[in-house]
Amino acid sequence: MTAASRHSFTVNLSILFGELPLLERPAAAAAAGFTAAELWWPFGTEATPSEAELDTLRKAFTDAGVQLTGLNFLDDLTLGARGTVSVPAERDRFRANVPVAAGLAASLGTQALNALYGNRVEGVDAAEQDALALEHLVLAARAAHEIGAILLVEALNRAESPDYPLVSAAAAVEVVDKVNAATGLGNAKFLCDLYHLAKNGEDLAAVIDTYADRFGHVQIADDPGRNEPGTGGLDFEDLFARLTVAGYTGPIGLEYRPSTGVSADSFGWLPREHRAAK
């Protein structure tokens, strides 16, 4: 038995199968053997898409028999942003998006909602942004709690996101703890993206040992390159085994770019029998 076989996997359809239109990706994931998927905010800069747009996306997942397990709140990634939570100019858009994202998640049984913190804004005091972020994360945590979901807070890497303030596991966990203290709900968790942390030079084994009890989700890509496991220098057999020993039983999200550009060809490292969610 490999270390990978002890875990469930979910495929991020905002980056994998990106060679296909979004609505065709759930079926492509199913054809590759996956039964669970996650998404960045799938409507670009639209904070409040129409019910028809929401229904069309729902149908793509239900028709494919693929469970949407994770969803970002409004992230503005299509604009090169890294979330809207702490950005004063996006206050109204984020607040309008919270019930829409939570409603979509509830309708698909999605149990994890990711709120990217947002970049630092030139001319705005960092303390002001942090206060707004806490206010918004509390709002998001309560919305998630109402549908039986968790709220995720993610650390990114400095090289690719130089204006994003959460660039270490410790920084993200500190925010998680503040949100839980403010709500009393305990449903804010750390999204541990091993690629971002590796790119930041963190000791991944130490991160797992120290913070595994705070993990709400784990995502992976090899480093460097952000391609599939086996294309870089990370020892995933060791990392998967460490996650098991540390007691992490949640899914592992595949959030990598296929090295050949063809997503279906990038899963050779993960035998088909291990792709379906357990």
Q: Which residues are catalytic?
A: 154, 255
Residue 163 in tokens: 């204006």
Q: What are phi and psi of 109, to 5 degrees?
A: 70, 25
Three-state DSSP at 90 gives helix
Q: What is the DSSP letter of 130?
A: H
The whole-angstrom separation of Cα 209 and Cα 188 is 19
CA angle 69, 36, 196 (to 5 degrees): 70
The whole-angstrom separation of Cα 104 and Cα 79 is 22
Residue 52 in tokens: 């028809």
Three-state DSSP at 194 gives helix
Question: Taking a C-beta distance cutoff of 8 angstroms, is the pair 139, 98 a contact?
Answer: yes
The whole-angstrom separation of Cα 187 and Cα 176 is 9
Nearest CA-CA partner of 74 in 66, 86, 62 = 86
CA angle 146, 151, 154 (to 5 degrees): 170
